[in-house]
């Protein structure tokens, strides 16, 4: 664990404690231990140095007496602010965006996630080129060739060159990413054509989305459906997993689990992860998983709302699923309106969640009685496989069967409806 100082500005319009606690968790997720937390009350950041000069000098002092080399600032800094703060504090300065990018980079497993993170990192570096290694490289050139006017010219050319190299890389990686995404796009279209509805698990990172998905898969024992990765760490999941869930009564839906949210998700990441994040856009029902045992649960709901707004999700029905009730005194499982209290590790909870999903998802199902002549046996097969059969009678004319199904299926069997 690397010892660090974290620092932030406190103003009237943000929940300072929540944001700082969040930053501590992010630092921890990146193998850093917060030794000192510094704050400054200020409505707006100082353009050149972010903090006031006095505060920056105080941070330098705190670093010296605690023997700490790294400062994490709870905002995205401008290149100038970053450089000036490094100068004044004598510390290595990491801003919130760089920290989140680092965590994402260390978690990325799939080719797609790796590409997305790489693109986001390069986007972040692009405007910051001048302040980092490039400067040093220019200085080196200056030493070798004697400096002066011509040299300054060549330094600037080098910067331009590096910019172009990075832009080219971004464009190449984006092309590669597009190809992978187009495969997913085709799969998505196929899902849409199947007219089977989709439920998306969304919410703050580490709330228990993946555990909830696995709870459903385990309960329904669907051997073809691989479980997803769940772990007590921020951003355990960086991609989207989709599983087809078939209930004992033949009702089906797709369930998706995806990357979790954190407040002020860097815009570079939102952009690079757009397709992954936008999975929620396609859903018929959202289950927002909330860590009900966290003191900041309310803020986390607000963060989720803001992120969903940002990716353009609106007007999709939502169940507010308060997870980890085993760590609270709330009786569970229980539900009031669209609020559900449960534990993803509890079988009864998952059963109740399935019922809630059913109530929300299959309202348009229709019940009819069909008379299927013996000569039309293949239709019986369809009913058996895809509908919820409520009653069967074998008559002389054929099979009389009462079943609940999607309106589409009822339409296909229209000619056999007798009731």
Ligand X SMILES: Nc1nc2c(ncn2[C@@H]2O[C@H](COP(=O)(O)OP(=O)(O)OP(=O)(O)O)[C@@H](O)[C@H]2O)c(=O)[nH]1
Is 83 an interacting residue with respect to ligand X (CB under 6 A)?
no
Angle at the Cα of 104 from the Cα atoms of 6 and 245, rounded to 5 degrees: 130
Is 324 an interacting residue with respect to ligand X (CB under 6 A)?
yes
The least CB distance from residue 327 to Mg ion, in Å, is: 18
- List beta partners, residue 246: 252
118, 237, 263, 307: residue in contact with ligand X (rule CB under 6 A): 237
The least CB distance from residue 230 to ligand X, in Å, is: 4
CB nearer to ligand X: give 216 or 383. Answer: 216
Which range binds ligand X by CB under 6 A, 30-38, 311-319, 341-349, 354-362? 341-349
| Residues of span 248-267 touching ligand X by CB under 6 A | 260
Look-up of token digits 């944001």: 19
Is 326 an interacting residue with respect to ligand X (CB under 6 A)?
yes
Is 210 an interacting residue with respect to ligand X (CB under 6 A)?
yes
26, 93, 94, 236: residue in contact with ligand X (rule CB under 6 A): 236
Angle at the Cα of 270 from the Cα atoms of 207 and 94, rounded to 5 degrees: 85
208: Cβ contacts below 8 Å, ≥ 6 apart: 230, 289, 291, 323, 324, 344
The least CB distance from residue 333 to ligand X, in Å, is: 11
Whole-angstrom Cα distance, residue 205 to residue 85? Answer: 30
Is 232 an interacting residue with respect to ligand X (CB under 6 A)?
yes
Angle at the Cα of 284 from the Cα atoms of 337 and 246, rounded to 5 degrees: 95
Is 240 an interacting residue with respect to ligand X (CB under 6 A)?
no
Q: Taking a C-beta distance cutoff of 8 angstroms, is the pair 86, 49 a contact? A: no
CB nearer to ligand X: give 304 or 405. Answer: 304
Residue 409 per-residue DSSP state: H
Can you read off the two tokens belonging to residue 65? 């007496």
231 contact choice in ligand X, Mg ion, none (CB below 5 to 8 Å, kind-dependent): ligand X
Is 210 an interacting residue with respect to Mg ion (CB under 5 A)?
yes
239 labelled ligand-binding? yes
Whole-angstrom Cα distance, residue 120 to residue 269? Answer: 5
Rounded to an integer, what is the distance from CA 271 to the centroid of its chain? Answer: 12
Q: Name the site residues for Mg ion (rule: CB under 5 A).
A: 209-210, 236-237
Q: Name the site residues for ligand X (rule: CB under 6 A).
A: 205-211, 230-232, 234-237, 260, 289, 323-324, 326-327, 343-345
């Amino acid at each position: 664990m690397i010892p660090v100082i974290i620092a932030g500005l406190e103003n009237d319009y943000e929940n300072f404690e929540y944001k700082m606690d969040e930053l501590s968790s992010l630092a921890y997720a990146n193998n850093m231990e917060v030794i000192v937390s510094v704050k400054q009350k200020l409505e707006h950041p100082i353009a050149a140095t972010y903090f006031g000069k006095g505060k920056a000098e105080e941070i330098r002092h705190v670093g010296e007496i605690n023997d700490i080399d790294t400062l994490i600032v709870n905002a995205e800094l401008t290149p100038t602010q970053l450089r000036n703060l490094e100068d004044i504090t004598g510390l290595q300065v990491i801003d919130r965006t760089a920290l989140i990018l680092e965590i994402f980079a260390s978690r990325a497993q799939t080719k797609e996630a790796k590409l997305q993170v790489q693109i986001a990192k390069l986007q972040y570096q692009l405007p910051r080129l001048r302040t980092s290694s490039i400067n040093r490289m220019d200085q080196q050139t200056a030493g070798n060739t004697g400096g002066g006017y011509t040299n300054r010219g060549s330094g600037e050319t080098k910067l331009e060159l590096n910019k172009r190299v990075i832009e080219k890389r971004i464009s190449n990686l984006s092309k590669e990413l597009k190809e992978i995404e187009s495969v997913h796009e085709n799969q998505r279209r196929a899902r849409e054509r199947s007219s089977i509805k989709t439920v998306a698990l969304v919410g703050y990172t580490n709330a228990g989305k993946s555990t909830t998905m696995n709870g459903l898969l385990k309960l329904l024992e669907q051997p073809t459906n691989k479980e997803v990765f769940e772990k007590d760490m921020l951003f355990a999941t960086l991609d989207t997993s989709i599983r087809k869930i078939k209930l004992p009564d033949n009702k089906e839906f797709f369930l998706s689990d995806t990357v979790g949210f954190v407040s002020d998700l860097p815009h570079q990441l939102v952009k690079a992860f757009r397709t992954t994040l936008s999975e929620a856009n396609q859903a018929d029902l959202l289950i927002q998983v909330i860590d009900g045992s966290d003191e900041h649960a309310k803020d986390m709901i607000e963060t989720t709302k803001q992120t969903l707004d940002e990716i353009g999700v609106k007007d999709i029905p939502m169940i507010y699923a308060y997870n980890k009730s085993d760590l609270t005194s709330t009786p569970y499982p229980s539900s009031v309106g669209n609020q559900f209290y449960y534990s993803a590790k509890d079988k009864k909870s998952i059963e109740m969640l399935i019922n809630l999903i059913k109530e929300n998802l299959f309202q348009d199902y229709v019940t009819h009685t069909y008379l299927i002549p013996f000569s039309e046996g293949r239709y019986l097969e369809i009913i058996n496989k895809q509908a919820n059969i409520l009653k069967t009678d074998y008559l002389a004319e054929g099979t009389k069967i009462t079943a609940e199904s999607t309106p589409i299926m009822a339409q296909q069997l229209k000619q056999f409806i007798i009731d």
